[in-house]
Chains A and B, each alone.
Chain A
Amino acid sequence: QVELQESGPRQVRTSQTLSLTCTVSGGSISGTTHYWSWIRQPAGKGLEWIGRVYYSGATDYNHSLKSRVTISVDTSANQFSLKLRSVTAADTAVYYCARLDYYGAGTSWGQGTLVTVSS
């Protein structure tokens, strides 16, 4: 059973960079059938896909966030990471990491971590 766990600062200052890491256990991040995604959810709102990374390092990003986002993978540590630059209060949300297949289906999600952006 693959498990995912988000980690990183829970508070970020406005205009700084939000950085989160997702640690994968119970399975290898180097599997060829899965993509490692970040999804976020502002309080009381719906799910927003941020982007994904393949074990090779190939990425896809939400076009609305693409200019500020970098998602990377560290296969040696079995982790993948999210960096979101120039954050504002609108980036305050619960951030989830998830293992999804190419078409977006997936049963393995992290528990989510609330990141608050404030000045």
Chain B
Amino acid sequence: SYVLTQPPSVSVAPGETARLTCGGDNVGSRSVHWFQQKSGQAPILVISYDSDRPSGIPERFSGSNSGNTATLTIRRVEVGDEADYYCQVWDGSSDHVVFGGGTKLTVL
């Protein structure tokens, strides 16, 4: 089945830019969604279809997807952005929703 690979952790200082990656075989041919999950809370969709921001998500959040890597970029990182971030795709060959293992973003 299809596999999405995310680095376990990323650290960034407040005000800097965080780039969270999601690797998969030709993932650029799929639509990637990104979810933010803060401690003890349900996940929240922050980017859909590679680069669309749902209503209420700050413009600091953006996404891109090409080749074997999708990227969630968070500009001007704030302490409140500290969370686990999961990428997700639909795998039509197996009729599965697939999640990456998640990246813990730490804001130093």
The interface of chain A, by Cβ under 8 A from chain B, is 37, 39, 46-49, 52, 60, 62-63, 96, 100, 102-107, 109-112
Contact = CB atoms under 8 A, between A and B. Distances in A.
Main secondary structure of the interface of B (DSSP, over half): strand
Contacts of A52: 97
Interface string B48-91: 11000010000000000000000000000000000010101110
A103 B31 contact: yes
Contact of B42 (A48, A105, A111): A111
Interface of B: 1, 31, 33, 35, 37, 42-45, 48-49, 54, 84, 86, 88-90, 94-102
A107 B56 CA distance: 11
A114 B33 CA distance: 25
A49 B54 contact: no
Contacts of A112: 42
Name the residue among A107, A109, A111 with the largest chain B CB count within 10 angstroms. Answer: A107
A104 B94 contact: no
Main secondary structure of the interface of A (DSSP, over half): loop
A49 B42 contact: no
Contact of A103 (B35, B42, B49): B49
A48 B99 contact: yes
A103 B33 contact: yes
B97 A49 contact: yes
A48 B1 CA distance: 14
Contacts of B102: 46-47
Contacts of A102: 90
A49 B45 contact: no
Contact of B88 (A104, A110, A111): A104
A46 B45 contact: no
Name the residue among B31, B88, B102 with the largest chain A CB count within 10 angstroms. Answer: B88
Contact of A105 (B33, B96, B101): B33
Contacts of B42: 96, 109-112
A103 B89 CA distance: 7
Contacts of A105: 31, 33, 45, 48-49
